[in-house]
Amino acid sequence: YAMLLSLIFLIVLVAAVVGFVFRHEIKTNFESNLNLALRDYNVTADRHSEAVDTIQRTLHCCGVQNYSDWERTEYFSQRGIPRSCCKSQDDCSEEDLKDPSKAKLKVFVDGCFFLVTSTMESKMSVVAGISFGIACFQLIGIILACCLSRYITNNQYEMV
């Protein structure tokens, strides 16, 4: 049992170190995937498009760096900026969303990449605290399992 707990502890420790060391690559990968999701954005119920809409609605952002990122997409040439960027769904017409100067007043202007990464970084202290607490319980479990094993082994010798 102690060896199993030790193995799990080491796997979690390695995952945490790898995540910390490669955090910049993770950010870069996320940014490129968000750019790809914008480029391939369409009206059909595809999960990447739904994810982009959810991020934009939840974080009140639009595009990767800012709302003008949509101008370089095929979707913009057909329908303008998506409705998920609108500050108010009632005050956002398709004509406004096709004109970047009018859209600037109707949509969120901040990009989603910065908001997502800053939100994740602000929650990292909570994740680190919870992980540290779980690691402490695992270490206590490892120590107690070793003590129990030693106690059982010592008692067997005394019985003989």
Instruction: For residue range 113-155, list pLDDT tens digits in order.
Output: 998 888 888 888 888 888 888 888 999 999 999 999 888 877 7
Question: Tell me: the pLDDT tens digits for 24-58?
Answer: 888 899 899 988 888 888 856 678 888 888 999 99
Distance of alpha carbon 137 from alpha carbon 45, whole angstroms:
44
The CATH class that applies to domain 1-158 reads mainly alpha
Distance of alpha carbon 84 from alpha carbon 58, whole angstroms:
9
Residue position matching structure tokens 């908001």: 115
Q: Angle 2-21/23-39 helices, nearest 10 degrees?
A: 70
- Cβ(85)–Cβ(108) below 8 Å: yes
CB neighbour class for 15 (10 Å; exposed up to 12, middle 13-18, buried from 19): exposed
Q: What pLDDT was estimated at residue 144?
A: 93
Return the amino acid letter for 92: C
Flag whether pLDDT at 158 surpasses 70: no
Across the chain, what does the average pLDDT equal?
86
CB neighbour class for 81 (10 Å; exposed up to 12, middle 13-18, buried from 19): buried
Q: Where are the domains of the chain?
A: 1-158
The rounded percent of the chain whose pLDDT value lies above 70 is: 95
User: Which residues lie closer than 8 Å to 79 by C-beta, 6 or more apart?
Assistant: 43, 94, 97, 98
Q: What pLDDT was estimated at residue 44?
A: 60
User: Which residues lie closer than 8 Å to 57 by C-beta, 6 or more apart?
Assistant: 84
Q: Which two tokens stand for residue 43?
A: 């009206």
